[in-house]
Amino acid sequence: MTEFRMPSLGADMDAGTLIEWTVAPGAHVKRGDIVAVVETQKGAIEIEVFEAGVFERPLVEIGTKVPVGLPIAVIAPAGEAAATPSAPVVASPVEVAAAAAVATTPSAVTETVFVPELAEEPPPAPPAAPVAAAVMSAPPAISTPMEGRPRVTPAARRLAETAGVDLVGLVGTGPVGEIVVADVEARIAAKPAAKPAPVPTPPPAPAAGRGIDPAAMRAAIAAAMARSKREIPHYYLTDTVDLTRAEGFVGERNAGREPADRLLLGTLFVKAVARAVKKYPEFNGHLVDGVFAASKAVHVGVAVNIRGTGLVAPAIHDTEHLGLDELMAAMRDLVVRVRAGRFRSSELADPTITVSSLGERGAEALWGVIYPPQVAIVGFGTPMVRPWAVDGMVGPRKTVVVTLAGDHRVSDGHRGALFLHTIVTLLQEPEAL
Amino acid sequence: MSANDPRAVLVEELGRIAPDVDVATIDESADLREEFDIDSMDFLNLVTALAKRFAIPIPEADYPRLGSFAKAVAYLGEKAASG
């Protein structure tokens, strides 16, 4: 039997609040299956398992804020007979007390972490001191509200917090008995004179992305970027790409295609970076504790703007192996899910290099801030028609300014320039991408 | 108003992409992407949805005819009528 731990959620998040188990005890799971959903500053994240097995039982309750690296469930590896539900792991008195405190003070739940702060970059490996996380006394049934702690959707929880409504005793009417927004609204309506909402902070502005608090996301971005500027000695390079061929290629390819099958120029940018970085491995990987590990796989993080909220850059896995149509489909799918405020844990933890593109309406150039623990970010400005010299003649051409921000601890401007120029060159032969 | 009223459909589909923008407050003759703050992916999703709703091809060559809210309503009205 294996303890399944809260996976890394990216550099800027050290914990997530468990809001849903998506499998029931006894369910068979395979690598990549989603077993739980946690709420973070970047929205709801689906937690995937890394190996096949049988989901035996959860170790933490819904509503618990769990630091990265702590066990959240027991999963028996495939082949190993699922043990009969055993007695819960005995937690130390201190932890039991802490857990009890968590269980009896609902208002404190979302802010209560039951172990001391972890290091900024907790490894996915177990923390040195085993911390028992057996918060529950029995495996909960997936479809029934847990004793003492009703299942609550994130939106309903937020509404309740904002309105100062107590959830205790509220009966949920959601599909599996969870408390939904309508239930909270009903209670608010029933108790117009309920205690005034404690409003230490202004109520969050309604976010376009469901379940994302713009202020929290801004704080997460600020933390990651401040760390980047503090720790990473950035250097910057710039080049310009003549887009005549790339645009022509995309236009020809899209002619006669249904809108659903069309490519965007940005797909070519991402693919060119993925191809180029294979030749320059010092820009593709993670630097952790002063040691850079180049990644064999290329998982390009694609920066996605969430309306009125912020920016995230989840990974497109194995970008260099995807054809342009597959890559386009993957990017479309990612954008839809990110804007809906729901993506997967591996997408946040895995990017090995980031591409940020301003698109059609923006500024001339984008100088990126490296997203730790990555060591490079490639920025594309807005394509514009500029005077351009070809064969001794100056004429108008559509061009785009491409930039590289690199980490001097790993690489320098000489290699950076070669890497950047490779991107420029690849975009001159779009049909070969 | 029919189920395929161009204006109503356009408002509905833009509402999916840019729920924070109130159509009543926009300049209908100004740049559609500016008014609704939509990027190329949003725009492609809009075109995809509109092509499906009206069962019409919307080639890239016609994109300029969707350049503003007013132009788009006119374009969809024309295409839907002839289609």
What percentage of chain A carries pLDDT values higher than 90? 43
What are the residues whose beta carbons fall under 8 Å from the beta carbon of A160, sequence distance 6 or more?
A152, A166, A167, A184
CA distance B21 to chain A (A): 10
Instruction: Report yes or no: B39 at the A interface, CB cutoff 8 Å.
Output: yes
SS3 A85: coil
pLDDT band of residue A162 (cuts 50, 70, 90) is low
Domain extent at residue B16: 6-82
- DSSP-derived pairing of the beta strands A384-390 and A53-58: unpaired
Overall average pLDDT of the B26-50 stretch: 93
End-to-end CA distance of chain A: 45
Instruction: Report yes or no: A307 at the B interface, CB cutoff 8 Å.
Output: yes
Instruction: Report yes or no: B66 at the A interface, CB cutoff 8 Å.
Output: no
What are the residues whose beta carbons fall under 8 Å from the beta carbon of A295, sequence distance 6 or more?
A281, A284, A285, A286, A352
**What type of residue is A96?**
V
Kindly state whether residue B58 falls inside one of the protein's structural domains.
yes
* C-beta atoms of A255 and B45 within 8 A: no
Integer-rounded Cα radius of gyration of chain A: 24
Kindly identify which residue of chain A lies nearest to residue B62, measuring between CA atoms: A255
Counted domains in chain B: 1
In this structure, of A79-83, A183-187, A381-385, the range with the lowest mean pLDDT score is: A79-83
pLDDT band of residue A173 (cuts 50, 70, 90) is low
Q: For residue A181, is pLDDT > 80?
A: no
Task: Tell me the helix, strand and coil percentages in chain B, rounded to 5.
Answer: 65, 0, 30
Q: Which of A1-5, A30-34, A143-147, B69-73 has the highest mean pLDDT?
A: B69-73
Q: What is the pLDDT of residues A28-55, one digit of tens each?
A: 998 888 889 888 877 788 888 888 899 9
Instruction: Report yes or no: B4 at the A interface, CB cutoff 8 Å.
Output: no
Kindly state whether residue B35 falls inside one of the protein's structural domains.
yes
A58, containing H or E segment = strand A53-58
Instruction: Report yes or no: A266 at the B interface, CB cutoff 8 Å.
Output: yes
Domain ranges of chain A: 2-214, 233-432
Instruction: Say which residue, A168 or A360, is predicted with more confidence.
Output: A360
Q: What is the mean pLDDT of chain A?
A: 79
Q: What is the pLDDT of residues A265-322, one digit of tens each?
A: 999 999 999 999 999 999 999 999 999 999 999 999 999 988 878 889 999 999 999 9
Write down the pLDDT at residue A138: 37
Instruction: Say which residue, A100 or B83, is predicted with more confidence.
Output: B83
Write down the pLDDT at residue A143: 37
Kindly state whether residue B1 falls inside one of the protein's structural domains.
no
Overall average pLDDT of the A394-409 stretch: 97
Q: At the top level of CATH, which class does the domain A2-214 belong to?
A: mainly beta
In this structure, of A99-103, A351-355, B9-13, the range with the lowest mean pLDDT score is: A99-103
Q: Give ipTM to 2 decimals.
A: 0.89
Write down the pLDDT at residue A301: 97
Kindly identify which residue of chain B lies nearest to residue A362, measuring between CA atoms: B39
Write down the pLDDT at residue A391: 92
- Chain B positions touching A359 (Cβ under 8 A) are 39-41
Identical fold for domains A2-214 and A233-432, yes or no, is no
Instruction: Report yes or no: A332 at the B interface, CB cutoff 8 Å.
Output: yes
- Chain B positions touching A258 (Cβ under 8 A) are 48, 51, 57
Instruction: Report yes or no: A252 at the B interface, CB cutoff 8 Å.
Output: no
Q: For residue A431, is pLDDT > 90?
A: yes
pLDDT band of residue A111 (cuts 50, 70, 90) is very low
Residue A19 tokens, joined: 């809001």
Kindly state whether residue B71 falls inside one of the protein's structural domains.
yes
Count the residues in chain A.
433
Q: For residue A206, is pLDDT > 70?
A: no
Kindly identify which residue of chain A lies nearest to residue B56, measuring between CA atoms: A258
The CB density around residue A3, as the number of other CB atoms within 10 Å, is 15
Q: For residue B69, is pLDDT > 80?
A: yes
Instruction: Report yes or no: A335 at the B interface, CB cutoff 8 Å.
Output: yes
- Determine contact, residues A278/A294, Cβ cutoff 8 Å: no
- Chain A positions touching B47 (Cβ under 8 A) are 259
CATH number of the domain enclosing B14: 1.10.1200.10
pTM for this entry: 0.71
Write down the pLDDT at residue A308: 79
- A233-432 carries CATH number 3.30.43.10: no
CA distance B77 to chain A (A): 19
Instruction: Say which residue, A264 or A1, is predicted with more confidence.
Output: A264
In this structure, of A69-73, A203-207, A278-282, the range with the lowest mean pLDDT score is: A203-207
Kindly identify which residue of chain A lies nearest to residue B36, measuring between CA atoms: A307
* C-beta atoms of B40 and A264 within 8 A: yes
- Chain B positions touching A260 (Cβ under 8 A) are 48
Size of interface A-B (CB pairs under 8 A): 46
- Chain A positions touching B19 (Cβ under 8 A) are 208, 307
In this structure, of A78-87, A315-324, B44-53, the range with the lowest mean pLDDT score is: A78-87
Q: Which of B39, B53, B62 should be substituted to probe chain A, the one whose Cβ sees the most A Cβ atoms within 10 Å?
A: B39
Write down the pLDDT at residue A220: 86
What are the residues whose beta carbons fall under 8 Å from the beta carbon of A42, sequence distance 6 or more?
A9, A10, A13, A212, A217, A220, A310, A312, A348
Q: For residue A209, is pLDDT > 90?
A: no
* C-beta atoms of A259 and B51 within 8 A: yes
Write down the pLDDT at residue A356: 97
**DSSP assignment, residue A279?**
H
- Chain B positions touching A265 (Cβ under 8 A) are 40
Q: Output the CA torsion B39→B44→B45→B50 (10° steps).
A: 130
Residue where the block lists tokens 């008014």: B35
Write down the pLDDT at residue A128: 37
Write down the pLDDT at residue A147: 39
Q: Which of A258, A270, A306, A356 should be substituted to probe chain B, the one whose Cβ sees the most B Cβ atoms within 10 Å?
A: A258
Kindly identify which residue of chain B lies nearest to residue A210, measuring between CA atoms: B19
Give the Cα separation of A44 and A27 in Å (integer): 22
Kindly state whether residue B12 falls inside one of the protein's structural domains.
yes
CA distance A260 to chain B (A): 6
Write down the pLDDT at residue A255: 93
What percentage of chain A carries pLDDT values higher than 70? 70
Overall average pLDDT of the B55-68 stretch: 94
Q: For residue A160, is pLDDT > 90?
A: no
Q: What backbone phi and psi angles, to 5 degrees, belong to A368?
A: -80, 160
Give the Cα separation of A296 and A305 in Å (integer): 28
> Distances from the Cα of A127 to the Cαs of A171, A241, A365, A406, A409, in angstroms?
38, 47, 42, 31, 27
The CB density around residue A392, as the number of other CB atoms within 10 Å, is 5
